[in-house]
Amino acid sequence: MKVAEEHPNGPITPLLSNTQLLQSLVDSIPRAQSFRGKWGLIRTKLSSLDTHLSELSPSAAAASVNSGISAEILRSVSVALSDALCISIRCQSSTPHGGKLRTQNDIDSVSAKLDNLNRDLEVLNRSGVLNESGAVSSKRETVRAESRSLITRLQIGTAESKNSALDSLLGLLYEEDKNVLIAVAQGIVPVLVRVLDSTSSWEVKEKTVAAIAKISTVDSSKRVLIAEGSGLLHNLLRIIESGSVVARESSCIALQTLSHSKENARAIGSRGGISSLLQICETGTPHCQAMAASVLKNLALFPEIKEHFVEGNATTILLGLSNSGTTLAQENAIACLSNLISGDDDNLKLLVAKEGGIESLKNFWDSAPSLQSLESPIQMVGALSSCPLIAGAIVENGFLSRIVGVLSCGVLGVRIAAARALYEITAAGYSGSRTRKQLGEMGCIPPLVAMLEAKATAEKDAAARALSSLLIWAGNRRIFKKEEKGIVSVVQLLDPVTHRNVDKRHPISILSSLAHSKEWRKQMAAAGTSGQLQKLAEMNVDGAKKLLDCLGRSKLWVVFSRP
């Protein structure tokens, strides 16, 4: 009977046609002489299929903005039921046409199709998309409705239909970031992860991971990706190992978000992810190299997995990239090396220096496209300088003037990195007095004092750290004396309430280096130093009680020396 033919209750719809096909198949099964057990199982699946079909509202499906989904799945049901009916008729003979082995394979195939259709219809009914009308009140509602429709389409149908849904999804996500937030709120992320888990199509995987990569670039959505945990991580690492160029790039973008947590970093290290990322740094496309180096930069922050970098010959690979990659790749490679050599392992620092790390830093610094790009190189200078055996080479290669030159720049991260690097260089023990004298003559004291008045606590702390070492040299103390707000700015940092994140040892060290001068002691007293030190002494902060006692003795000496 054709769809267009009349029926006592009206024209035959695809839904009604499938219901009739299903009933014909149910009636045919008892007459099967071959594979009765398998047909018994199929009859159970048909019962579920009948229930799901009955839940579809013909009027809602026809009027819905998602009626195309309904039509597509009903066509698939019709094909599966027609195939099953033909096979059941063949099985009415004890020796089915085509042979038993072929017939058995055909039965198993149609049984699997029925399983998939039952699952798809359950998803479709549960989603509620067939009850949505085309009337929407705003663009946001339109995006929500489209997101729900795409989420449903990604969970049902063939790889081809999912591929088409992914094309539409990518168009939606890349239109604007607000669409990303709406799609994530509707539940797109877990669905994308399930698609990665279940599909064998590399085209579908490529588009799926591209959608995940886009979502990872929107800050408000990152936590949802992180919540997916090891399942998403496992898929991304597999793609990095064996996916297409485009899929690898997308995976690296997504991993930049996931690699910030210690748990994920450990998982990436234990599953060979660092080795795969280093391989991309060697042989990947320029953009993919930059993305892989960015992931490695995050991973290098965790001491627990640094052994994986050593095993993968990371220093040689990253130094090579810092010399030959794109500007972004070079910057990320240097940042990774900087994180890798931070800490107390001087052997790794010496290895980097021996393999040309200092020369790489000079070359990048002198050709850097912007001040912002200097933050990582300066951090690496500081990390290398913490090793006394390398600090001399840093000074001899002209980095002092380079660092002093950016202390007053307009980039916060660069200023902080520069101040911290100065501390590492002057505290390393390599010709300390001579280096401190050089820096003072280069004019580093005034910008560091100005940084004490900055808004960012990290900037104040970095400046105090550098000054605590620089003021050991008497000539620098004389320069500091000329700074009108110097003492007041340092004393303010002692307050344990308003500046609780400033390491108090450094402002205490600065004041201790100045306490021998009667004039400076008066300035300290006027600024309220004793009151702040009393609080810190009660908190057992190193050096607070000693400086407080020193200032107290000075007051007594003044009293007893009066006529």
Measure the CA angle with vertex 90, ends 87 and 93; round to 5°: 145
Q: What is the reported pLDDT for 70?
A: 75
Q: What is the reported pLDDT for 560?
A: 31
Q: How far is CA 292 from CA 158, 275, 296, 318, 321, in A?
A: 33, 11, 6, 11, 11
Structure tokens at 561: 């020396």
Q: What is the reported pLDDT for 360?
A: 95
Structure tokens at 251: 């995976």
Q: What is the reported pLDDT for 58?
A: 61
DSSP category for residue 13? P
Q: Whole-angstrom Cα distance, residue 444 to residue 370? A: 21
Could you read off the pLDDT tens digit of each residue along the chain, which spans 563 residues?
A: 233 333 444 444 677 788 889 999 999 999 999 999 999 999 999 999 988 888 776 655 554 556 677 788 888 889 999 999 999 999 998 888 889 899 999 999 999 999 989 888 888 888 777 666 555 568 888 899 899 989 988 998 888 889 999 999 999 999 999 999 999 999 999 999 999 998 888 999 999 999 999 999 999 999 999 999 888 999 999 999 988 999 999 999 999 999 999 999 999 999 999 999 999 999 999 999 999 999 999 999 999 999 999 999 999 999 999 999 899 999 999 999 999 999 878 999 999 999 999 999 999 999 998 999 999 999 999 999 999 899 999 999 999 999 999 999 999 999 999 999 999 999 876 667 889 999 999 999 999 999 999 999 999 999 999 999 999 999 999 999 888 888 888 899 988 888 888 898 999 999 888 888 788 788 888 888 888 888 888 887 888 888 888 777 654 333 333 33
296 burial level (CB within 10 Å; 0-12, 13-18, 19+): buried
With H, G, I as helix, E, B as strand and everything else as coil, classify residue 535.
Answer: helix
Tokens 């888990």, located at residue: 197
Q: What is the reported pLDDT for 59?
A: 53
Q: How far is CA 108 from CA 21, 28, 97, 102, 535, in A?
A: 19, 17, 16, 10, 80
Pair 507, 490: CB distance under 8 Å: yes
Tokens 């006394």, located at residue: 388
Q: Whole-angstrom Cα distance, residue 129 to residue 150? A: 10
Q: What is the reported pLDDT for 3?
A: 34
DSSP letters for 538-560: HTT-TTHHHHHHHHHHHHHHHHH
pTM: 0.81
- Using CA of residue 534, residue 535, residue 540, residue 541, what is the dihedral sign? negative
556 burial level (CB within 10 Å; 0-12, 13-18, 19+): exposed
Pair 336, 278: CB distance under 8 Å: no
Structure tokens at 470: 């620089």
